[in-house]
Amino acid sequence: MLTLTLNRPDKLNAFNPEMHRLLREALERAATQPEVRAVVLTGAGRGFCAGQDLSQRDMSAGAPPIDLSVSLGSNYNPLIRRMRELPKPIVCAVNGVAAGAGANIALACDVVFAARSASFVQSFSRIGLLPDSGGTYFLPRLVGTARAMGLALFGEKLSAEEAERIGLIWKALDDDQLLAEAGAAARLLAAGPTKGYGLIKKALYASAGNLLDAQLDLERDLQREAGYSEDYREGVSAFMQKRKPAFKGK
Ligand code: T3D
């Protein structure tokens, strides 16, 4: 299991190019190292992540306008794609406020735990932007268009408990339990059938864009792959022998 901690606590872990680079490299390591079978993503200090570091944007009178598509195209979009395509589970432990891209990076994780004191803010509209980093994709799919629109337009803080209640995240936890419980969940996943988990991600994330027919075909194809895995053999054998399976992630 690999724990990644966003670590610019003075700025509530807002993203600058260096933090993008470090996270990108860490996710590459997670992808290529077979011993990494689950990832935990959390933040240092009192925040999870406040999105883009706004102090890096020159808004003085004579400054030229910024083409934000460059930032999304080179940093945020590849990051979200990497996270969703990683064939291993990513557990998010949202330790504090998650705002702007920070909120949507949390939602791009596969399972989201949040401390009760944490909150989610689609703060983009407060500075004249629209939700990015997958926000306009994740929000309506997770909570429906009415709630997505309210969250995006008003940019109000949503508490962790409310986020759990409306299905935006998996679980809100007592603050002092967050890292222990998210860590335990990640360890459980890290000892599981990694290949199967990767296929679960693939199937569930494809379903939003598929009709039932296509999804059934995809399930058939992915189940073929799962059925060829060593872990499937081990899972069935362990069940028949009434013992705990020892999955190897293969
Ligand atoms: O530009 C591009 O590349 C395009 C891509 C955009 C993606 C995005 O993420 S756009 C959205 C950017 N993020 C925001 O708009 C959020 C801005 N922050 C806030 O709204 C609030 O800080 C929070 C709701 C996150 C937390 O509020 P609160 O009251 O708990 O804390 P605070 O006092 O506002 O912030 C604490 C410090 O962090 C403060 O610094 P100081 O005064 O103690 O020196 C604040 O300036 C700093 N901080 C918070 N967020 C950012 C930040 N500094 C730089 N960039 C930030 N995003």
- At 209-250, the pLDDT tens digits run 999 999 999 999 999 999 999 999 999 999 999 999 999 999
100 ligand 1 Cβ < 6 A? yes
pLDDT (0 to 100) of residue 44: 98
pLDDT (0 to 100) of residue 52: 98
- The pTM assigned to this predicted structure is 0.98
pLDDT (0 to 100) of residue 152: 98
104 ligand 1 Cβ < 6 A? no
pLDDT (0 to 100) of residue 69: 98
The pLDDT of 130-158, averaged and rounded, is 98
pLDDT (0 to 100) of residue 116: 98
Mean pLDDT of the chain: 98
The pLDDT of 162-181, averaged and rounded, is 98
pLDDT (0 to 100) of residue 224: 98
99 ligand 1 Cβ < 6 A? yes
Q: How confident is the model at residue 203 (pLDDT cuts 50, 70, 90)?
A: very high
pLDDT (0 to 100) of residue 70: 98
Atom in ligand 1 nearest the alpha carbon of residue 132: 7
Whose alpha carbon is nearest atom 5 of ligand 1?
Answer: 52
Over residues 36-79, the pLDDT tens digits come to 999 999 999 999 999 999 999 999 999 999 999 999 999 999 99
Give percent above pLDDT 70 in the chain: 100
pLDDT (0 to 100) of residue 205: 98
- Return the structure tokens found at 8: 């610019």
pLDDT (0 to 100) of residue 188: 98
